[in-house]
Amino acid sequence: MDDEEQVKAYAEADFELPHNQFIQCLKLVVQNPAFDGVALDLGCGPGDISRRFVEAYPGSQVHAVDGSKVMLKYGKWLLSPFLQKRIHFIHGRLPICLLPQPSYEVIFSNSLLHHLPDPMTLWQIVKKYSRSGTCVGIMDLLRPDSVESAQSMVDTYAGNEPRILQQDFYNSLLAAFRLEEIEQQLRIADLQFNIEKVSDRHIFISGFMP
């Protein structure tokens, strides 16, 4: 997502409900409120999830990766000077991306899976940058049963958003995976993660690396 108008609409959109839900789900995985390590945010966009994470875990830092320079620019603008010291934005497209650390204690991602040309890329990166005990939390959209259902979700959850954002949401719903497809991806990647449908349009995948 590199178009300035498109990124601006996304960065200014109201994601309070799903992003708060993501953090609440992640807290069930990262159960230590005193966590003071470095987490990895894959596909961070304008950084709202990263911001919520460091606010939930005041001792933590985040390495936040995204393939869009425009998204990262907005992310820096939206952060307070204090939080800028705790969130390190990294421009790079997966899987070709150099990260500052060989592994992380926490890896999370929101709404990246359906954007990747090859969904296995996400699971390969998770394995590559994990260590024993790494906490993993991934949220993404679920593909509806029909285009009519997709349009109904757009009308319900993005009806007041700019037209460009409504179109992005519609396209993302149709590009998302079904639950059984994600289960197959995890089997291929040999990852024993829990999969839970947490809303009519979201799935949360979580677990710990052995």
Percent of the chain with pLDDT over 90: 75
CA gap 162, 164 in Å, rounded: 5
Mean pLDDT of all residues in 146-161:
94
Name the band, by pLDDT with cuts 50, 70 and 90, for residue 80: confident
Look at the alpha carbons of 189, 195, 197, 202 in this order and tell me if their dihedral is positive or negative: negative
pLDDT at 153: 96
Average pLDDT, the chain: 92
Compute CA distances 92 → 7, 14, 95, 120, whole Å.
17, 26, 8, 17
Amino acid found at 178: R
Q: Which residues pair with 180 in a beta bridge?
A: none
CB atoms within 10 A of CB 49: 24
- Between CA 78 and CA 72 the distance in angstroms is 10
User: What pLDDT was estimated at residue 4?
Assistant: 67
**Token pair 């790079």 in the structure block, residue:** 92
Whether the pLDDT of residue 194 is over 60: the answer is yes
* Residue 88 backbone phi and psi in degrees, to 5: -105, 110
Q: Which domains does the chain have, with CATH numbers?
A: 4-144+178-208 (3.40.50.150)
Can you give the pLDDT at residue 3? Answer: 66
In tens, the pLDDT along 135-149 reads 999 999 999 999 999
pLDDT average, residue stretch 178-193: 97
